[in-house]
Structure 1
Amino acid sequence: MIMPSDKDYKSTKKIKQGILKIKEEFTPLAKWIDEKYDVKTLNLVFDFIKNDKSYPRLQVCLEYVKDKGKFMDNQTYSFDKTKQNEVSDKFAEIVSGYNIKNRQNWIKKIFGLTYKPNNLFVYFSDFESIAKIEANENIPEKKIKELKTAINNSELWEIDRRFDSVTYFLHTEEQLIRYQNSEIHKKWNQEYFDLLKDYDEFGYFIRESYSVFLDSKENFDKNYESNWFYYYK
């Protein structure tokens, strides 16, 4: 899962909403992951890398960012290989517990009796970070314009939201320094948070830790050639 448009995110969202349930065949593994690592698994998605059955892949869709962090290697900022192998081994153990010779079940359909446990690539994602992006993107542009009009501050050039955050652009660097951590900045935090919460279906944004970013048009023009692509690259 990378963006709200991803099919894996959409299916996981339905599980979070209670519309769907995790596939029955994956329930034992999800329960094992939750108990062993003290996390919350929302979904497990099995597929093949580039549709090549020689390269099976399992995505563990955790609910929270902090849960995904438990599966990251702090030294390399990649997935923890030990935990990847532990999940892969447990999946192989669960698979081996089914009678695949006599049942037209999910294992037979997925693996075609060619599954090799040591081939499985396990990776981890989290639902929370994508849900935050969706919430922010779901705010209608009309609401953003109405907010800017209501602020009615000639020193505010633009309000621009991307992904799960929003940036208020002042015109100059001098204004940026003056507004940073000011009472006005705190007020902008509150106003945008109040707007955002109407679209935060799962309550992942927290008022006490929420803050809008501040920047300046001067910086945008001078260092990013007035180009949004360069700015967010």
Structure 2
Amino acid sequence: MIFTSDKDYKSTKKIKQGISKIKEEFEPLAKWIDQKYEVKTLNIIFDYIKNNKSHPRLQICLEHARDKGKFMNNKTYNFHKRKQKEIAEKFREVKSNYEVENKPNWIKKILGFTYKTNNLYVYFTDFESIAKIEANESIPEAEIKKLKSDLNNQEIWEIAKAFSGVTFFLYTDEQLKRYQDSEIHKKWSEQYFDLLKDCDEFKYFKKDYFSVYLDSKENFDTNYDSNWYYYYK
């Protein structure tokens, strides 16, 4: 679950919206994760890395970015190995119990509807981060152009949204320094937030913590060869 177009994101979004539910066989594991680690699990997805049956993986789709942070190793910025192992072991237990309670399941085995747990790779994603990107990308370009027109400030070169944020570009570095953390900067943040909140279906953006980024065309031209790909790379 990396992009708003990912099927995993779309299926998890339906769960968040109340349109669908997490698969029945994953409910006990989700409840266990939530209780043990004090997080909110929205969805659990099982598949195989590159469709290789020898490399099963389990995606734990958490709701919030702070929840995902609980499964990251602060020293290495990789997933926490102990917690990956704990969840893999619990998944094997839950899977075994589910199969016993739901016998006969020979039809599932014949058709291949079983979850392989040997060499299982557990990883974590969060719904909030992608939902924020979707909200920001949903602001119509016409609204961005109107905002720029309404601001009527000749020192603004461009308003460029990307991912879950937006950058107001001044023309020069001198202008950038003058506006940074000014009252006008705060006002711009409030005005852009007014556009953003209408597209933020799940209200993940908080006004008190939202601020537009400031940069300059001078920096864009000098250090990024006037190239958007290099800038956002």
Question: How would you bin the TM-score normalised by the shorter chain?
Answer: over 0.9
Alignment correspondent of 2:49:
49
**Which amino acid counterpart does residue 53 of structure 1 have in structure 2?**
K
Alignment correspondent of 1:178:
178
Alignment correspondent of 1:102:
104
**Which amino acid counterpart does residue 32 of structure 2 have in structure 1?**
W
Query: Does the CA-based 8 Å contact 1:135-1:201 persist in structure 2?
Result: yes
Deviation, structure 1 residue 118 = 3.9
Partner of 1:9, secondary structure, is helix
**What is the CA–CA distance in structure 2 between the aligned matches of 1:150 and 1:110, rounded to whole Å?**
60
Alignment correspondent of 1:216:
216
Q: Does 1:153 align with 2:149?
A: no
Query: Does the CA-based 8 Å contact 2:41-2:61 persist in structure 1?
Result: yes
Partner of 2:176, secondary structure, is helix
Alignment correspondent of 2:229:
229
Q: 1:108 to 1:160 in 2, by over 3 A?
A: farther
Query: Does the CA-based 8 Å contact 2:55-2:119 persist in structure 1?
Result: yes
Show structure 1 runs of 5+ residues with no match.
Answer: none
Alignment correspondent of 1:16:
16
Q: Which has the larger displacement, 136-145 or 104-113?
A: 104-113
**What is the CA–CA distance in structure 2 between the aligned matches of 1:232 and 1:107, rounded to whole Å?**
47
**What is the CA–CA distance in structure 1 between the aligned matches of 2:51 and 2:37, rounded to whole Å?**
30
Partner of 1:25, secondary structure, is helix
Q: 1:123 to 1:109 in 2, by over 3 A?
A: farther
Alignment correspondent of 1:6:
6
**Which amino acid counterpart does residue 197 of structure 1 have in structure 2?**
K
Q: Which has the larger displacement, 165-174 or 95-104?
A: 95-104
Show structure 2 runs of 5+ residues with no match.
Answer: none
Please show how residues 71-110 of structure 1 align to structure 2 within 5 Å: 71-97=71-97, 98-99=99-100, 102-104=104-106
Q: Which has the larger displacement, 91-100 or 52-61?
A: 91-100
Over the matched positions of the two proteins, sequence identity in percent amounts to: 66
Alignment correspondent of 1:190:
190
**Which amino acid counterpart does residue 213 of structure 1 have in structure 2?**
Y
Deviation, structure 1 residue 95 = 1.4
**What is the CA–CA distance in structure 2 between the aligned matches of 1:92 and 1:121, rounded to whole Å?**
12
Query: Does the CA-based 8 Å contact 1:25-1:106 persist in structure 2?
Result: no
Partner of 1:2, secondary structure, is coil
**Which amino acid counterpart does residue 126 of structure 2 have in structure 1?**
D
Query: Does the CA-based 8 Å contact 1:95-1:107 persist in structure 2?
Result: no
Alignment correspondent of 1:144:
144
Deviations 1:48-87 (A, max 9, x none): 0111111111000000000000000011000000000000
Deviation, structure 1 residue 102 = 3.4
Deviation, structure 1 residue 112 = 5.0
**What is the CA–CA distance in structure 2 between the aligned matches of 1:77 and 1:142, rounded to whole Å?**
39
Deviations 1:5-43 (A, max 9, x none): 000000000000000000111100000000000000000
Q: 1:40 to 1:71 in 2, by over 3 A?
A: same
Q: 1:108 to 1:198 in 2, by over 3 A?
A: farther
TM superposition score normalised by structure 2 = 0.95
How many residue pairs get matched? 231
Please show how residues 197-208 of structure 1 align to structure 2 within 5 Å: 197-208=197-208
Moved over 6 A (4+): none
**What is the CA–CA distance in structure 2 between the aligned matches of 1:109 and 1:73, rounded to whole Å?**
39
